[in-house]
Structure 1
Amino acid sequence: MASSSGSVALAEKLQGLNGLFAIHKKKGPTSADVLNLLKANLLKEAGIKQHPMKRKKQVLKLGHGGTLDSAASGVLVVGIGKGTKMLGGMLSCSKIYTTIGEFGKATDTFDALGTVTDVQSYDHITKDDLETTLKKFTGNIMQTPPIYSALKQNGQRLSCLVKKGEAVEAKPARPVVVFGLSVQDYNPPLFTLNVECGSGFYVRSLVNDLGKELSSCAHVKELIRTKQGPFTLDEHALQEEKWTISEIVKAVESCVQLVPSEAALKKLKINYQDDTEQVKEAA
């Protein structure tokens, strides 16, 4: 067991951290669940007790730079301390995903967790057909977000409202940007895509729309975010066994080189006032 002085030192080190780092989110939990688990682990290691009801007086401030679906895995960028004020840039930066889609079945959530809503033939779809159709979804396009999403209606997430059986209005199509789309593998009914896109883009909607465009239907079976901004899954994302204070200290220090130094210094000033509302804080 750590000594009293050792616990104090750990607590001070943790509470003095300001910056960004990346973790590997596993498939299953929500992004908020993962952030809460990370926070609980760090507070426990530092010997800090946090009253769950005192949200406004959090002793450790954490936030993430963009939600990953519970069915998805991969890079989740985390801001700690004043670093949470830098997360707006992570929300707007480009992201890269690898997704496995399945032709022939559509679901209400556009992924494998949902209920099958349609079954159609896919035998007529060739790899050339798929590659040709991808061109229609590249560049500046309009995309309709899925009903099951983190977007809100009257202050509540659409996905939560749908699960409660409440009426939900579909959000209108909105402009998004796709920098690149390519077929990595094609073994019908399965196909693997590499997707590089901007903010606000839904891979689930892309796969659903592809199915319709090819006179069939489709849903996402697997989704992995391999890069967000400068953070990559292989190089920067900490696995759960490394969610320790010492590992995060090293990760925060090393990531300073990934973020533009001048911008980072400005964002980390004590008197920095731009408190973006887009950051998702842990409960």
Structure 2
Amino acid sequence: MRSAKAGLQGLFAVYKPPGVYWKQVRDAVETNLLKDLNKFRRPAPRKHIYFLPSTVEGADGKELTITATEQSSLVDHPLVSGPLFTHWKMGVGHRLDKKSSGVFVLAAGKGTKKLVDCHSAHFTRTYTVRGLFGKATDDFSDTGKLIEKTTFEHITREQLERVLSVIQGSNHKALLQLSAPLYFLPRRHYCPPQEHKDREESQPLSYLKSPAKKWTVAQSMGSDHEQPVWRGVLIGIICMAFVLWCMFRSPTELDQKLEELLMGKELEDFPPKQEKP
């Protein structure tokens, strides 16, 4: 029984049928595991020694003595203690909708600690969507109340792919817009000033015990003076790119004119004039 309990640790996948809530699948798996664990042979009940009074025939008649007897403890009896396993730690990797079906990841025992790593890994998920053209229901499902019906012979595969691409693009755009303020934009936190106790005028001011010891130059300049690191790196990259562009760009007419002016001035100065003695 202990080996079976130790083996139920880890992640596993089950199939979730449509029309069933994910919690019902989890509870059904847990119930079946508990039933199988309780079917194992139970350990032998503990024995207790009791000292019970009894009478024996003696020379003077009946005498009272104490006899040691061994009896099984009723605490370990199945009718008293009930099943050994009544709860098992189960975790859910992802929650599927009631009308969806497919792979359902579960974790048992110590395997629940791996669900965080599994969620952070961002494994690829593939979904298959099924629909019916020409009908509309109140809850957008095949079992809902029919509220509209029309023809669908004019729908082509090209039109459907165009609509799906527009939906996918809008979802990607919304994802980037929502995630940008959380991860890419700098944040500034306001720290309220700390309240200090008023000192008595008769006591001298100690520098080592005062807040001035921990005051820095950056705090004197203000929070706006502190520039983020990425801004300096960005300016350096732009300057380096400008220098490389100046070095490797193709020459223009302005460059040729400047070169002719500079070369002409150098030729006039060379050779140097010699002074007469």
TM-score when scaled to structure 1? 0.40
RCO higher in 1 or 2 (8 Å CA, sep ≥ 6)? 1
Rg larger for? 2
Question: Which structure's residues are more often helix, by fraction?
Answer: 2
